Amino acid sequence: MAVDFRFIIIGRGMMGAAAARHLSAMADGIALIGPREPAERKSHEGVFASHYDEARITRTFDGNLAWGTFAARALDRYREIEARSGISFFSEVGCLFAAPDKSEQDYIDRALTVSRTLGSDIETIASSDLSRRFPYLAVDADFSGYFERKRAGYINPRALVRAQARLAEQGGVTLIEATATSVRDAGAHVEVKVDGRRYSAERVLVAAGGFSNFHALLPRPVDTRVMARTVVFYEIGEREMAVFGDMPSTIVLGDREEDHIYILPPVRYPDGKMYLKLGGDTETLSINRLEDAGAWFRSDGSAAERDHLCRIALQLMPALAGCPVTSGPCVANFTPTGYPYAGFTQSPRIAVLTGGNFVAAKSSDELGRLGAVLLMEGVLSEADFPGELTPVFA
């Protein structure tokens, strides 16, 4: 039977759009399926994505070699993607880790080892110099800093997805702005149902993020936990810009895990205002149904988590006092392995690429490349950490 496409990628987010771009350089007959960002978040009844935002931290400093490698490979392609697409998305402002000298030393030691392997330039900043070098940040005297000036900062995830999709389309990919509701291995081909229509393909890659287990996109669900996350936005005025305007992206590892926090520099959002964004990783709300995911994305996040993050923020950055505060929803998709999934399902024609583990935005171009290689070649090379990326199914 003749198929509509050789390859179909489901999910027009950070990994899916990257996969489509990379695959367009390897083959013809590709479709990328996924809806646009909804115009009105609070009234939208369909699927969402967590890249509907203006800033995500990017860095190679990581205690895990695989994650550090994925990030470094992606970072090394950012400028090429910007130049070819005409869309800017990377701000190389650097990334600062601040951590107490004792409680997080194991992670720091591993991250320094990985950095040497990757050739990353990490400056160690003694406790006595930390407040002088980075006066916006008020940490205890036992904190040291680890500053990655190059290949680090933040990306605009919306803009990166636009750039990937533009280049994919220029490479011949067909963009289908709709929601896939089922995927079925029909024997000699795969059948994809999309808003009442059906498309066929030789192989399909499901890259639907936290929504991968919803609808009927996989033969069996992957083993993941989709967790709610709340982000906080401080509206920044001229006074605060004098304090925070030149800050790098920042990650503070507190004495307790619940005090860990990430902080984005002031970024202009679509409403024209400048916001400093921050978040954490302690929320326990698990999302198991499509209806619950939609309700969460239509909300403003958790008020309790917002208040918790604000308490930490004002301790670390007293100059934020008096700034207007809002909050919003996000989700994180965790795997039991701690790695993303990139592999085939029970069907040799249906593959899955998901499991960002709350750290994948910066690495999305490389993860998309792995998804493209998987569809084209059927396997990943040993240099691509195939064992770590093997999917686990529920």
Tell me 150's DSSP state. Answer: S
Can you count the helices (H) and strands (E) in the chain?
10, 20
- Identify each DSSP E strand in the chain by its residue range: 5-10, 30-33, 56-58, 90-91, 95-100, 122-125, 143-148, 153-155, 174-176, 180-185, 190-194, 197-206, 225-236, 249-252, 261-263, 267-268, 274-279, 325-334, 341-344, 350-354
- Give me the pLDDT at residue 196, please: 84
- Give me the pLDDT at residue 1, please: 66
Token pair 């699927």 is found at 47
Regarding the domain with residue range 5-52+157-224+336-384, which homologous superfamily does it belong to in the CATH classification? Answer: FAD/NAD(P)-binding domain (3.50.50.60)
- Tell me the Ramachandran region of residue 365: left when phi exceeds 0, alpha when psi lies from -120 to 50, beta otherwise: alpha
In tens digits, the chain (394 residues) has pLDDT values of 689 999 999 999 999 999 999 999 999 999 999 999 999 999 999 899 989 999 999 999 999 999 999 999 999 999 999 999 999 999 999 999 999 987 788 999 999 999 999 999 999 999 999 999 999 999 999 999 999 999 999 999 999 999 999 999 999 999 999 999 999 999 999 999 998 899 999 999 999 999 999 989 999 999 999 999 999 999 999 999 999 999 999 999 987 777 899 999 999 999 999 999 999 988 889 999 999 999 999 999 999 999 999 999 999 999 999 999 999 999 999 999 999 999 999 999 999 999 999 999 999 999 999 999 999 999 999 999 999 999 999 9
Q: Quick one: CATH architecture of 92-153+225-334? A: 2-Layer Sandwich (3.30)
**Alpha carbons 13 and 15: distance in angstroms, whole number:** 6
- Give me the pLDDT at residue 309, please: 96
Backbone angles phi, psi at 107, to 5 degrees: -60, -45
CA atoms within 13 A on the CB side of 385: 19
Q: Where are the domains of the chain?
A: 5-52+157-224+336-384, 92-153+225-334
Q: What is the pTM of this model?
A: 0.96
